[in-house]
Chain A
Amino acid sequence: MAISGFSDIETQATLKKELPRISGSEAVIRSFIAEGVDTIFGYPGGAIIPVYDALYDYRDKLNHILVRHEQCALHAAQGYARATGKTGVCIVTSGPGATNTVTGLADALLDSTPVVLISGQVGSKLLGTDAFQEINFLEITHSVTKWNCQVKRAEDIPEAIAKAFYIASTGRPGPVVVDITKDAQGGMLDFEYKPTRFIRSYLPYKEIDIDQINEAARLINLSRKPMALIGQGVILGGAEQELKEFLEKSGIPAASTLLGLSALPSDHPQYVGMLGMHGNYAPNIKNRDCDLIVAIGMRFDDRVTGDPSNFGINAKIIHFEIDPAEVNKVVYADVAVLGDVKKSLPLITEKISKSDHTAWLEEFHACYNIEREDIIEPAIERRGAHLRMGEVVDAVASQFDDAILVTDVGQQQMFASRYFRFKQTRSIITSGGLGTMGFGLPAAIGAKIGAPHREVCLFVGDGGLQMTLQELGTIFQSQVGVKIILMNNGYLGMVRQWQELFYDRRYSFTELTNPNFELIAKANQISYRCIERHDELDEAIAQMHATEGAFLLEVRLEREENVFPMVPAGQPVHDIRLE
C-alpha cells in the first residue's frame, strides 16, 4: 500500500510538471477554447488589457467582435446565444465598461439567456480604495445575474470560468459575471481545465416526480377543453420534437408566448396563435372556456396573464417548469412537474391516451376567422394613403422564408411577432421580459454572427434604432449582413398608442424629429433605401434580399397606427379588445 501510495504521489507530481505555466490572462482565453467558445463580443479598456493582450495570440481561434458600447456586447451575445443555443461570451473592462453591461445582464436574466461576462477589475491591492475605474461590480450585479464571483488569484481563474459556464448554461439558463482583478490576469499558474459537472449548492435538474406525471396524465385524459401554453423552456431544453409528439398524441390546441414562438412551426395544425397583451384573439378569449391549461416551460408573465386572478378561471393548471421558484409565483398550479421538459414531456406523452379535440380546435379557428376579418386582413392589406406595419412585416415574411426574426421593443415588436411566420426553432430573438429598447440592432448582429447561413431580419423603430445606433459601426467593421427594416413613424409608437387610448391623446414627448437615416447608413457604408408607397414595398424587399451584406430599409409609415388586439393592462385576458 505504502509503495503504491508513494507512486501515486509521484505520478501526480510528474503530471503537474507537465502542466503549462501560463498567465491568468492566457488561462482566460484557453478556458474559453476548452469550453468550445468561438466568438467573443467585447470592448477593451485599462483593467482588461492583459486579457486582450493574450487574445492577440489566439485571433485564429477566437473571433472577437468589437462592439461600440458594452451594453451592446451583452445584447449581441444574447442574440448569438439565442440563435445558436450556445453560451454567449463577453469581455469588458472595469468601472464604466462594467456598469454599461447592466441592462444587458438584466435582459439576459429575465429572458433566461446563457451569457458569461468577464469583467476586468482593478488590482486586488486597490480594491475598496475608489481607484481609477473601480466599482463594486459584484454588488451591482447581484440582482441582474444568476451568479457572479470575483477572482483575485491567477490560479483560481480556470475553476471560476468552468463554474461560470456550467451555471450559465444549465437548469434555467442566465447571465454570469466573473470579475477578474488585474493582478490575477497578470499572475502565473499551472494551467489545467476541468469542466464543472457538479456544484453541491446548485442542483439544476430535479428528478422528475412520477406521481406528478400520473396526476397530470389523469387531468389531461379527463379534460374536454384543454389548451397548451408553450414557453421558451421548450427551446432552451431542445424539446421541440418532444413537444410535437405530446401535442399530436393529445390533440391539444397550443398557443405560444412571445419567447416560445418558433418552438412549434406557425403552420402546425394545432397551433392557435400567440398569447399576451397583443397576442391572438383565440388563445386569449378562449382562456375563460378552458377546463385545463398545460403550461410548458413558461412563467406566467403579467403580459401573458393579464389579471392573474382571472387567468384560466375555469381551468385546472398543470405547470411543467425547470425553475421551482416559478411554480405558484403568479398562478397557482394544481399539478407541478418540475424538471427539464425534454425529459418530462416524453413521460407524459407515454401516459396519456391518444385523443382528438377537433370540435374544440374548431372553436379556436372560428375565433381566428373573426380576428382575420377584423384585424389581420385589414392590417396586411395594401390600402390607405400610407404604408402600415402589418403589411410591411407580412411582405418581408413572404420573401424572407425561414429567416431569423429579431425585433426591438414596441409596436414593431408586436406587429413583427404577430405577422412573421416561423418554420424552424430558434427563429425569434426579442426582448420579452425587460423590454429593452435598443436591444434589436446589437442582438441582430449577434444572431447573424452565430447563424451566418440564415437570413436575419431586424424590425426596429426610429426610437429604438437611435438608442444603439452606434452599432452600425460594428456592422461596418465586422461586415455583418443583417437586414434592417426601420419602421419609421416619427413617434415612440407604443407609448403614443397608450397616450392616445388612456391619456386623452396628450402626446407628451413621444414625437421624434429624426436625423437623415440615409446619411447615417451611407456613413457606415450600409446599403440603403427609403420607401413610402405600397407599390414600392415588394420591389424594395426584393432588392434588400438580393443585396449581399447589410441593408437598411427605411419604411416611412402611417404615423398613428395602433396595435390590436389588445388586452388592457391588468384586465382579464378574455376582455381582449379588437379595436
Chain B
Amino acid sequence: MTPPTSPDQPGAALPAPGKRIPPSAFLAKPSRRHRGLWALLGVVAFLAVWEAVPRLGLVRPVLLPPPSAIPQAFAAEVRSGAWTDAILQSLGHYLWGLVIGSVGGIAAGVLTGMSRRLEDFTSWVVRLLRPIPGLAWVPFAIIWFGVTPTAAIFIIVLGVFWINYFAALGAVQAVDRDLLELADAFGHRSTPAKLVKIVLPAASGAILAGLRTGLGQAWMSVVAAELFGVPGLGQRMMQASSLLATDIVIVYMATMALFYGLVDMGFVAVRDRLMRWKA
C-alpha cells in the first residue's frame, strides 16, 4: 500500500490505490493540503520580514509601518466613517466605469469584427487614440466634467474600453469560417442569426478574458482617477500620504487588493459556469 516515499512528507504518504508514486521527491506531486501549507508559510514569512524591517530600525516606521499597526488604523478609519464613504464612492465609480467601458468596448469590437468596411474606416482613428493612456485624458476630463464622479468614471471607461474592444475584435475575427458555413447550410443566413448562434458563443471565451483583464484595469484607473480630487479611495490615500499617515495608505491598499480579489473570484466562478462546455 505504501510505496517508498520519504517519511517527512505526510501528504505524500497516502497514495490513491493503484497509483504509483514517482521515486524522485522532486517529481512527486505534493498533496493539496501540503501545498496550502506552503502558501500559508509564504504569507507568514512575508509578514514577518515586513514586521522586522521597521522594528529593527532598518526603515523608519513612518515610512513603512509594520503590519501589526494596520488593524488599529483600519478600525479607526472604519469608526470615523471615512472608510465606508471612500469605498462606496469608489465602488460607484468602478461599477459605472466598468459597465460602460465593457459594454461599449465589446459592442464596438464585435461590430468592427463583423464588418471589414467598418474596420478599415476606424483603423487609423483607433491607431491614433489607442496609445493614449487614460491618465493623459485627465486634463480634458476636468475641463469637460469638472472634479466630479463623472470625470472619474470617464477615465475608467477609457481604460476598460480599449481592453474589451481589442479582445472582442480579435475574438470575432478568429471565429472559424467553417462554423459560419454551417450556419448558412442550416438556414441561419442573416447576420443577426449568425451573430447570436455562432459569433458570440464562439468568441465568448476571449471576450470573457478581456472582461477579466478589464476588472483589474478598472481598479487601477479608480485610484488614478480619484488622485486628482474626486472623492473616493484614491483621494483618501492622497490626503493620508500628505499627512504621512502611511498606515492609512496601507489600509486602502489592502482594501483594494481585497475587493479586487473578491471581484475576480466571483468573475471566475461565473465564467467557469458559462464555459462549462469547454473540454
A, B assembled together: no
